[in-house]
């Protein structure tokens, strides 16, 4: 019986085999580490999202606590920052009561303040552009130099409010209440105010507002568009 000769494996071939084996396991370890990193990253992102939601909820709760606990009181009571944070977190302020509050320079741009009560509040220099103040009570409020560009004031009560140098470019004044009893409107800009009550613009100009000449439509009363107040 003829035997097959055994060819010895050279040391060089054995070294190559071991090197390739090490590289193979390095690739396996790398891929496993990459998978672990990817899986952990997804878990971290999910955890971060949950934590951010919890923090936002806690922040909103604390802000509402500040606003509600100070209701009926004068001064700021931390409400300037609290209200601003609520608006930034897309919280509706509809129906909020801040009567008599000191809210000078408060930033409530784009806020939903429908039917809110801001009676006698100090809103001097407040940023209220694009806010929804439909049906809001602004009786006696100080809105001197406030920015009310594009603000919805439909059905709002502005009796005894101070609007000197205020800006209401493009504001909606449809059915606004108490406008003949506004405390001051001098130096206010009243250009392009939308759906203002008939006679409002003539009255405001006679009280020192600035808004340019009346249009033909405003003269004949066929269109109740008026204009806006702009801060000096």
**Secondary structure in 3-state letters for 43-98:** HHHHHHHHHHHHHHHHHHHHHHHHHHHCCCCCCCCCHHHHHHHHHHCCCCCCCCEC
Q: What is the pLDDT of residues 67-118, one digit of tens each?
A: 999 988 888 889 999 999 999 999 999 999 999 999 999 999 999 999 999 9
Query: Which comes out higher in pLDDT, residue 38 or 77?
Result: 77
pLDDT at 20 exceeding the cut of 90: no
pLDDT at 224 exceeding the cut of 60: no
Query: Which comes out higher in pLDDT, residue 227 or 201?
Result: 201
Q: What is the pLDDT of residues 119-142, one digit of tens each?
A: 999 999 999 999 999 999 999 999
Query: Would you place residue 2 in the very low, low, confident or very high pLDDT band (cuts 50, 70, 90)?
Result: low
Handedness of CA 191, 194, 197, 199 (dihedral sign): positive
Tell me if the pTM is above 0.75.
Answer: no
Q: Select from 95, 113, 104, 97 the least CA-distant residue to 75.
A: 104
């Amino acid at each position: 019986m003829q035997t097959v000769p055994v060819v010895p494996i050279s040391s060089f071939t054995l070294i190559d085999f071991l090197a390739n084996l090490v590289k193979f396991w390095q690739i396996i370890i790398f891929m496993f580490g990459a998978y672990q990193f990817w899986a952990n990253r997804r878990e971290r992102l999910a955890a971060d999202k949950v934590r951010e939601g919890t923090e936002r909820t806690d922040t909103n709760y604390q802000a509402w606590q500040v606003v509600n606990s100070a209701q009926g009181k004068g001064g700021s009571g931390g409400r300037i920052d609290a209200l601003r944070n609520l608006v930034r977190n897309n919280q509706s302020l509809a129906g909020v009561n801040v009567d008599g509050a000191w809210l000078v320079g408060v930033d409530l741009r784009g806020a939903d303040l429908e039917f809110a009560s801001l009676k006698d509040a100090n809103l001097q220099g407040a940023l209220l552009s694009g806010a929804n103040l439909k049906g809001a009570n602004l009786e006696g409020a100080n809105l001197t130099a406030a920015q009310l560009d594009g603000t919805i004031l439909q059905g709002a009560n502005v009796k005894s409010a101070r609007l000197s140098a205020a800006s209401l470019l493009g504001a909606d004044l449809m059915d606004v209440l108490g406008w003949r009893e506004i405390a001051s409107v001098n130096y206010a800009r009243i250009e392009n105010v939308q759906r203002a009550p008939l006679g409002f613009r003539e009255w405001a100009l006679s009280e020192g507002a600035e808004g340019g000449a009346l249009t033909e439509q405003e003269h004949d009363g066929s269109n109740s568009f008026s204009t806006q107040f702009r801060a000096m």
